[in-house]
Structure 1
Amino acid sequence: MEDNFLINLLGIDELSLRRILEECDCYSNYRISQLKNWIHRRQVSSFDEMTNLSMKLRDYLKTIAKIEAMPLKTQQFSMDGTRKWLFDAGFDNAVETVFIPDSNRNTLCISSQAGCAVNCSFCFTGQQGFNRNLTTSEIIGQLWWAQKNINNDFFSGNLDKSIINSPKITNIVMMGMGEPLLNYSQVIPALRLMMDENSYALSKRKITLSTSGIVPMIDKLVNDCPVSLAISLHAPNDELRDKLIPINKKYPLQELMKSCRNYVSYAPRDFITFEYCMLDNINDSDKHAFELIELVRTIKCKINLIPFNSFPNSNLKRSTQNRILSFVKILNSQGIVTTVRKTRGDDINAACGQLAGSIKNITKIKTHESIKL
């Protein structure tokens, strides 16, 4: 069978695997566990290497299936240990994935779309426009490829073990290119595979989905797969948020906050994170801080302040360090847990808001002009 018609097992759920094994008269729960273990735990791509599967099953899988991530185009290494990979998504598109090691965890930032149609003014991805949704196989393939790559370099001695003390990817953040909740049908199966005990065995607490605020999909996520939730907030009032995040005109703050209050009851960490990009003289005044306090007061939450990371033609500037610290002090004084995100990988344009990839835009999205208040 031609490669384009082969089933990519990276994105296949347990029910689909069962059907495949039943067609070969090889089905058992144990066989499914074995197959998932080979694919997701050991990152094996050749059926010949799956030596505890019968020859009959291996030969059958060769005729109908493949295990294949998106092709790697380039990789970059930051001085702080961060890695950025650019994957070929076909049709003149490429998406980026970022690995961020820390002393007690290894985080992988995964993309869900080739580009993004939300068009946030402070995010480079949004300025590239949008082409298409990634498939479940392409989403999981980023995790599969990254874990395989880190394992190989760690055990061959090619990693600085003073920076990375374990090869295991422990945390996933759906904060790469794209709005995950606008690719719901492909993202949810990917999240479930990440949590599958025979695949990556990550807990809901270790997977964070970041959204600009697609209210109906947040409400749906509660029932389908309530992982840790981060809201890309960035403004304490509708007037400003309409300018920074145009989707706010469709799902204004009152609706979004109502949805967040409901989600907290199901959130695995019993709180929601509000992400807030600190933009000089735009959203960083004392007045904005007090507005933010009133906005989130009735929601169990944490605030994560993100110093703006520049990109070409953004016309925006990062808030000063003193202004950020003053903002933190105001929020903390009202009992709101507030942290400042440590900038990682900015020397390779891998920091928050800097991912761009390469997108063949099929929308009418245009670069924002300077925001005027």
Structure 2
Amino acid sequence: MTATPETPTRTQVRPKTEGWTQKKDAEGRPLLQFASPKRGKPPVHLADLSPAQRVEKVTELGMPGFRAAQLEKHYFVHGTHDPAAMTDLPAAGREEFVHGMLPPLLTEVRRLQTDRGDTIKFLWKLHGGALVESVLMRYPGRITLCVSSQAGCGMNCPFCATGQAGLTRNMSAAEIVAQVVRANRVIAEGQLGDPREFGHEGERVSNIVFMGMGEPLANYARVMQAVRVMVDKKHGLGMSARGITISTVGLVPAIRKLSDEGIPVTFALSLHAPDDELRDEMIPVNSRWKVDEALDAAREYFEKTGRRVSIEYALIKDMNDHGWRADLLGEKLNARGRGWVHVNPIPLNPTPGSVWTASTRAAQDEFVRRLEAHGIPTTIRDTRGKDIDGACGQLVATEADQDAAQATPAEV
């Protein structure tokens, strides 16, 4: 690689936490949590099971197996777990049966909506009291839901609000899917704008981004079960795999595993720095798998799936937005071939207690210009929800959220 730091014309800000203390291990390195703490598990739900397992459980509950298909339609198509709405089921024992297969998983604590009404942030309380958020966004021609896969996050990145409290627990596959089901209900009820005015009746979430709370590939099995339910046209939500984006900060073994799944989701690598010296400080998991290892795994994903990879890059003023870093990134990407990758620079979203801020417009433009000069397709990310703390890196359960959750009874 030929790119080297240019003669400094701007200062080099070093990553550090502001307003909170980063958890460290016994050697003083940022603590990484890959295993979920042992906490109360949510009840098993229809979406946690394969179609065959659903039939088995239905029969265990004393109903004929074909009732599983009826429940799938009620939940995935109509978005309901209310027994009263399921008049095609026998009245005798209906409530117990439905709650046995479709136990309520998410309790809405609060929602915030932007003034334009095109973005809604939900705060959900999970089984056991853990809190997560998801963000629903209307764009021209599509509706995107940013879902959480963990309560909290164990990756401990100093510029991300979600990781400040560490990892509370992994979410179940059904809890992940439930965010989509609930969002579809909100859309159908016209709460993201009247579908007849902005889109069409029968609108649903069309795109999923696993960019909410948590590191998706650290909860691999449950995330993949959720994805299988999302793309299953007969027994699930029937979404397009190409409309689902799974992001990671660089868990290389899991990236390689994802490459072999045979489900052509969009893969996004949250890189944020092309040089190990800076990325070691910005992304603690870089101490396990370096930049070149993560990029090699990303290239392998493209080779095996044919799906172009996205590189996510949060632009932080005077930290990682120097022109020479754009050159180094362009060179590293091109060293692995052409046409396999797209870069999404994202102006940093401020988080509570942090003095870090987004790059200047001039620095953003220069960063993009240099990448494009290397022939790298580059698009500045259109971030949504900053005014409701719903943008990338802003999702965190505050003390006020905790208080509101305690006052909110669990849904039944």
- Which TM-score bucket, shorter chain as reference? 0.7 to 0.9
Q: 1:234 aligns with which of 272, 276, 284?
A: 272
Matches within 5 A, 1:183-198: 183-198=219-234
In 2: Cα distance, 1:122 partner to 1:7 partner:
35
Match of 2:163 in 1: 126
Change (3 A) 1:32 1:266: farther
Q: Does 1:341 align with 2:381?
A: yes
In the TM superposition, residue 193 of structure 1 has moved relative to its aligned partner by 0.5
Q: Does 1:37 align with 2:77?
A: no
**Secondary structure of the structure 1 residue equivalent to 2:300:** helix
In the TM superposition, residue 243 of structure 1 has moved relative to its aligned partner by 0.7
Deviations 1:47-97 (A, max 9, x none): 343233455784672473334231011100012411000011255531110
Contact 1:307 1:318 in 2 (8 A): yes
Deviations 1:139-187 (A, max 9, x none): 1111111111221135xx9648665656311000000000011111211
**Secondary structure of the structure 2 residue equivalent to 1:280:** coil
In 2: Cα distance, 1:63 partner to 1:194 partner:
21
Residue identity matched to 2:357? K
Match of 2:123 in 1: 86
Relative to structure 2, which stretch is displaced further, 134-143 or 54-63? Answer: 54-63
Change (3 A) 1:46 1:160: closer
Q: Does 1:352 align with 2:392?
A: yes
Q: 1:175 aligns with which of 192, 211, 214?
A: 211
In 1: Cα distance, 2:127 partner to 2:95 partner:
29
Change (3 A) 1:25 1:293: same
**Secondary structure of the structure 2 residue equivalent to 1:310:** coil
Deviations 1:342-369 (A, max 9, x none): 121111011111111249xxxxxxxxxx
**Secondary structure of the structure 2 residue equivalent to 1:266:** helix
**Secondary structure of the structure 1 residue equivalent to 2:382:** coil
Contact 2:250 2:294 in 1 (8 A): yes
**Secondary structure of the structure 1 residue equivalent to 2:331:** helix
Q: 1:26 aligns with which of 64, 68, 71?
A: 64
Q: Does 1:140 align with 2:177?
A: yes
Change (3 A) 1:244 1:5: closer
Q: 1:246 aligns with which of 274, 284, 301?
A: 284
**Secondary structure of the structure 1 residue equivalent to 2:305:** coil
Residue identity matched to 2:395? L
Matches within 5 A, 1:213-228: 213-224=250-261, 225-228=263-266
Deviations 1:8-47 (A, max 9, x none): 324333122021233336124xx54332111111112123
Change (3 A) 1:38 1:92: closer
In 2: Cα distance, 1:217 partner to 1:261 partner:
14
Residue identity matched to 1:332? E
In 2: Cα distance, 1:237 partner to 1:315 partner:
23
**Secondary structure of the structure 1 residue equivalent to 2:214:** coil
In 1: Cα distance, 2:193 partner to 2:77 partner:
21
In 2: Cα distance, 1:25 partner to 1:124 partner:
46
Residue identity matched to 2:75? I
Q: 1:321 aligns with which of 335, 338, 361?
A: 361
Match of 1:302 in 2: 342
Change (3 A) 1:57 1:202: farther
Q: Does 1:72 align with 2:108?
A: yes
Unpaired runs of 5+ in structure 1? 360-373
Residue identity matched to 2:78? R
In 2: Cα distance, 1:70 partner to 1:285 partner:
43
Change (3 A) 1:50 1:350: same
TM-score computed with the length of structure 1 as normaliser: 0.87
Match of 1:368 in 2: none
Residue identity matched to 2:134? T
In 2: Cα distance, 1:197 partner to 1:56 partner:
31
Q: 1:259 aligns with which of 293, 297, 301?
A: 297
Match of 1:97 in 2: 134
Unpaired runs of 5+ in structure 2? 1-40, 400-412
Deviations 1:316-345 (A, max 9, x none): 121001111111111112211000011211
Match of 2:244 in 1: 207
Match of 2:45 in 1: 8
Contact 1:274 1:302 in 2 (8 A): yes
Residue identity matched to 2:169? R
Residue identity matched to 1:109? C
